[in-house]
Amino acid sequence: MVALLKWRSSLGRQGRSLLSSWDPSVPTCRWMGISCDSYERMVSLNLSYYNLDGTLQNLNFSSFPDLTTLVLVSTSLSGTIPPDIENLSKLNYLDLSSNNLSGNILSSIANIANLSHVDFMNNSLDGTLPKEYAAFRSLTFLQLSYNSISGSIPGSVGNLTSLTGLYLNHNELSGPIPPEVWVLTSLRDLYLSDNQLTGTIPPEVGKLTSLQRLVLNDNQLTGTIPSSIGNLSSLWYFLLLNNELVGSIPQEIGKLSSLTQLDLSSNRLSGSIPDTIGNLSNFEFLYLYKNNLSGAIPQEIGNMPRLMHLQLHQNNLTGAIPDSIRKLGSLDVLFLGGNRLSGPIPSPMGNLSKLTILDLSLNQLSGSLPVEMNNLTRVRILQLPNNHFVGNLPPGVCRGGALERIIGHSNFFTGPIPRSMKNCSTLSRVRLENNQLTGDISHAVGIYPNLVYLDLSYNELHGKLPAKFGLYNNLTLLRISNNNISGTLPLELGNMKKLKVLDLSRNHLSGGIERELANLQSLLGLSLDYNKLTGSIPPEVGTISTLQSFSLSENRLVGSIPKQLANCIDMRSLNLSGNELHDSIPVEIGKLQSLRSLDLSGNSLTGELPEQLGHLRNLETLNLSHNMFSGDIPSTFNNMESLTTVNVSYNQLEGPIPNSTAFRNASIDTVRGNKGLCGEIVGLKPCPLKNHANGRSEKGDKKLLVILLPTIGLLLLFIIIFGLLYGMNFRTKRNAENELVSTNGNLLSIWSYDGRLVYENIIEATEGFDSKYCIGCGAYGSVYKARLSSDQIVAVKKLHVSPHDIVGTTATEISRRKAFKSEVRALIEIRHRNIVKLYGFCSSSRHSFLVYEYLEAGSLEGLLTDHEIAAGFGWLERRNVARGVADALCYLHHDCFPPIIHRDISSKNILLDVDYEAHVSDFGTARFMKLDSSNWTSFAGTFGYAAPELAYTMAINEKCDVYSFGVVALELIMGRHPGDLISSIRNVYHMQLKEILDQRIPYPRDEIMVDLISFLDLAFSCLSYRPESRPSMKQVSQGLSTQRPNVLDYSLEIKLGELFNSRGLVS
């Protein structure tokens, strides 16, 4: 009694209150949570789900010698378990799950011989598993999941011969599964998922004949699924997803007659789906997606009447959808997308009355949709994009009123949008673009309070935009471009406060742009180009501070360019071309520091070019042609290092062209039609040599020098003396490790170490690096999205440990410090349009971080794994991404001295902007290559992208980057990581060309096909096993920049082996 009361007094206030019934005047056996035996001895303490808010440090376990059961589930306990818990010698049942206990608790209970049930699930346990289990011979249940236990699983676990349940999932365990596990023949449950386990699944798994649940998913297991798995006749729950398993699904899987759920998804399994799967009549859930399975879907699939979920998407399945699918009367979810299925949708599919999700996207299905699909009244999600469907959409597609998402883009659907959709208030996402739909848009749409995404672009819709659009309060994207919409812009558009993208381009809209559009304060992109809009650009647009892309080209707009546009500080693309704008360019445009593309061509703009345009240091494309600009091109244009494309033709400009790369590489067509431009462009007159400047003669200049030179000399002497005195005084007051300089209100103009102001600004913007701002994690740091006080959005890469805190005592600490210094050094000294821009860095005793430009579209890896986005990522865009990466690596290898080896080129380290322009990132492993050195170093990079020679040598050279580029190039072509295909060209000789192409986008044609063949050539040449046989990145960059002649007509059915032979690729 005394021990319990003392423990109660140590608990938090709420805990003490909950145990207030523990009254010394009442027998202990009548206290809440306590049970006694017939001799009034306390044998059980169970206080589960009471918020005790305390520790076990003040609970004297030696006072309870007869305790057999201790259950304190979800009681908000923290800290460690005191060693004297071993005094509970009779303890049989111990459950302390769902608390915040820490430490290596198993060592505390190692001597309690009678334990049969141990549950520490969902705590903060760390350390390793003990190597001795002699004391646990009576143990039947061991639950340690959802902790932070590391190290390997010891072989001594085989001593737990009575164990029926072993749960080690969601920890940090590594290494292979020890063979001793497979002798625990009493096991019914084996959970080892969500660790970092390696190795294979041995045939001995077949000895666990009592096994009912086998859960090994989310590890790094390799090898094949052993055929002995068929011996597990009691198995009903089998998960192997997210590993690296290869080979085929064994036929013996059909012997698992008790199986109700099988998940083999996200591996590298190949071969066909075994027809023996039809023997599993108890199946309810079958997941085989994200593998390399081929062949047809077996007819036997219809022999599983209880099946509720069937997910076979993202494989290489071919043939038709089997008619036997009609027998799956319990089916609720059907995913067949991302394969190569062909033929029509079988009519019996309309019998699947319980279906709520149907995904047939990214196949080669054809024909019209069967009328029986009107019977699918429970469908919430219908996905049919990227097929060859024709005819009308089902008129009763929303007859049941359950439809939330209809995705049918990139087909050949005709006719009107179904009337049933008009009353479908449940809709949240509609994508019907790239079809041939007709009808009046105002009659086709209804009121959709939940609608988030609406894309009807590239159809043949007509009519006026309905005012009801203003009721779409949750809409984030509205795209109806490339139709025949007419009339004016309804004022109600300004009510869609969550809208991020508005694209009404290429229609027949007329009238003015109303100021109400400025109410769209979340807008990122606004496109109204190629319409018949009149009037002026409302200056209120400048209040949309989030705007990144603004296009009003090819309209009939008049007036001047509003200077208020300079307030859109995140603007990256501004296109006002093809209008009737006049007056001069406002000088405020020079404040748009994020601007990448500026097109003001085809207007009536006048005056001189403002020198502030030269301050647009990130500008890459500039078109000022076909206006009436006059005077010289400002000298500030010499500093536009990012500018690659420029056009100032057909103006009244004069004087020398700027000495920048864009102008030096320009053709005569981009400067012709001016008053008097001169320079070294072929076809342009050279600038005359002058002996006079600014009206002063050479003689006058000499007189002026006689006066100025002595004066300047005295002034310099005074400055030097003053500087020395000031410097001596400054060093005594402060160690000038570095400070921030703020320019024109832009916190990121000039940086050096310990920029106090920007440091505090970033800490505030990320709320002390709160996880809700985290957008990615790497080996050396986490990346956060931060909006600074200036409204500029940046990406902040925070190192896991500050360099000031690293004393270099461990290899990990030294590696992190080297990574930080390497990335800073590399990025400060390089500047290229396809390399992510470093704005600055901070280092302090608390944090060290790098600050980059923020790229909205994320990584190439993320884009390719998002099927909806990838479906709109065409061949030209993919080739352009490859060219951008090649140009960046060419610059690093050939234009930097010493050359820089990136060493970690992968799709996750290629970031994309809103225009899908590639930017190489993550220089955490970058190394400067000494020309006289073999650069021996430790391995760095990403498995699956690293060159094969790194398996036997650590000599790093630029050909390692070339190989990694080849993997990325093939990933762009295939739409996924090429896997085993990269090991040898001969692995793909038997494949047809179309088999290696991403099935989510239409096959290329004509010149795009020839261009793609050349791209494929380059990709495989980069993957040569011999480094010396790979091209240089300069050759790759030039190859991607060269326009290939259309000399051969390649068939999609051509074998890659024939293709390589015909083009001289065999080596």
Binding site for ATP: which residues?
Answer: 798
Name the strand (E) or helix (H) holding 176: strand 172-176
Give buried/exposed letters for 99-128 (b at 16+ CB in 10 A, else e).
bebbeebbebbbebeebbbbbbbbbebebb
Residue with the two structure tokens 């380290």: 909
Bridge partners (DSSP) of residue 69 are 44, 93
Torsion, Cα of 855, 857, 863, 867 (10° steps):
170
Which regions of 465-552 does DSSP assign to beta strands (E)? 477-479, 484-487, 501-503, 508-511, 525-527, 532-533, 549-551
Residue type for position 464: K
478 within 8 A of 457, measured Cβ to Cβ: no
Maximal CA-CA distance, the chain? 121
Query: Which residues are annotated binding-site positions?
Result: 798
**Burial class, 702, CB count within 10 angstroms (exposed 0-12 / middle 13-18 / buried 19+):** exposed
**1053/701 Cα distance (integer angstroms):** 76
In SS3 terms, 432-495 reads as CCCCEECCEHHHHCCCCCCCCEEECCCCCCEEECCHHHHHCCCCCEEECCCCEEEECCCHHHHH
The tokens for 150 are 């590391």
Within 10 Å of residue 25's Cβ, how many Cβ atoms?
4
- Distance between CA atoms of residues 551 and 527, nearest Å: 5
Give the pair of three-digit tokens for residue 1047.
């000399």
Angle at 542 between CA 536 and CA 543, to 5 degrees: 130
Of residues 383, 437, 470, 792, the one with CA closest to residue 618: 792
CA distance 545 to 568: 4
- The single-letter code of the amino acid at 482 is N
Q: How many CA atoms lie within 13 A of 163 on its CB side?
A: 26
C-alpha closest to that of 334 among 293, 297, 296: 297
| HEC assignment per residue over 556-584 | CCCCCCCHHHHHCCCCCEEECCCCCCCCC
What is the CA 112 to chain-centroid distance, rounded? 49
- The C-alpha atoms of residue 210 and residue 214 are separated, in whole angstroms, by 11
Q: Are 646 and 666 in contact (CB under 8 A)?
A: yes
Active-site residue (options: 359, 904, 998, 1011):
904
Residue 643 phi/psi, 5-degree rounding, is: -70, 125
First and final C-alpha spacing in the chain: 85
Separation of alpha carbons 341 and 446, rounded Å: 34
Q: Which residues contact 854 (CB under 8 A, 6 or more apart)?
A: 785, 793, 794, 795
Angle at which helices 958-974 and 1006-1022 pack, to 10 degrees?
Answer: 140
C-beta of residue 229 within 8 angstroms of C-beta of residue 255: no
Q: For residue 1049, indicate whether it is catalytic.
A: no
- Alpha-carbon gap, residue 163 to 149, rounded angstroms: 20
- 141-143 and 532-533 as β-strands: parallel, antiparallel, unpaired? unpaired
Question: Rounded to an integer, what distance in angstroms lies between the CA atom of residue 903 and that of residue 846?
Answer: 29
Count of other CB atoms within 10 angstroms of residue 9: 12
Secondary structure element (H or E) that encloses residue 1009, with its range: helix 1006-1022
HSE, side-chain direction, 13 A CA sphere, residue 194: 12
Instruction: Give dist(CA 363, CA 344) in Å, integer.
Output: 11
Catalytic residue numbers, as ranges: 904
